[in-house]
A = this chain, B = another copy of it.
Amino acid sequence: MWASVLRDTLSGKDFRPVQATGERYRQENRKGRFGLPESGLTPELMKDMYYVMALSRALDDRLWVLNRQGRGPTVYSSNGHEATQVGSAFALRRGEDWIVPYYRDMTLVLAWGMTPREVMLHFFAKAEDPNSGGRQMMAHWGSRRLHMLSTGAVVATQNAHAAGLALASKILKDGRVSACFFGDGSASQGEFHEALNFAAVNKLPVIFFNENNGYAISVPLNKQTVVQDISARAAAYGVPGIMVDGNDPVKVYEVTKAAADRARRGEGPTLIEAKTYRFVPHSSDDDDRVYRSREEVQEQKKHDPLITFAERLLKDKILTEAEKTEMAAKIKQVVDDATNYADKAAMPDPATIGQYVYGGALA
Contact = CB atoms under 8 A, between A and B. Distances in A.
Interface of A: 188-194, 197, 200-201, 223-227, 232-233, 235-239
Nearest to A198: B188
B235 A236 contact: yes
B200 A194 contact: no
Contacts of A239: 226
Contacts of A225: 197, 200-201, 237-238
Contacts of A201: 223-226
Nearest to A227: B238
- Grouping DSSP codes into helix (H, G, I), strand (E, B) and loop, the A interface class, with mixed when no group exceeds half, is helix
Contact of A232 (B190, B194, B224, B235): B235
A233 B236 CA distance: 5
A223 B188 CA distance: 24
A196 to B, nearest CB: 10
A218 to B, nearest CB: 15
Contacts of A191: 190
A193 B156 CA distance: 14
Contacts of A237: 225-227
11 contacts: A188-B197, A190-B192, A190-B194, A192-B193, A200-B226, A201-B225, A225-B237, A225-B238, A226-B237, A227-B238, A233-B236
A132 to B, nearest CB: 27
Contacts of A236: 227, 232-233, 235-236
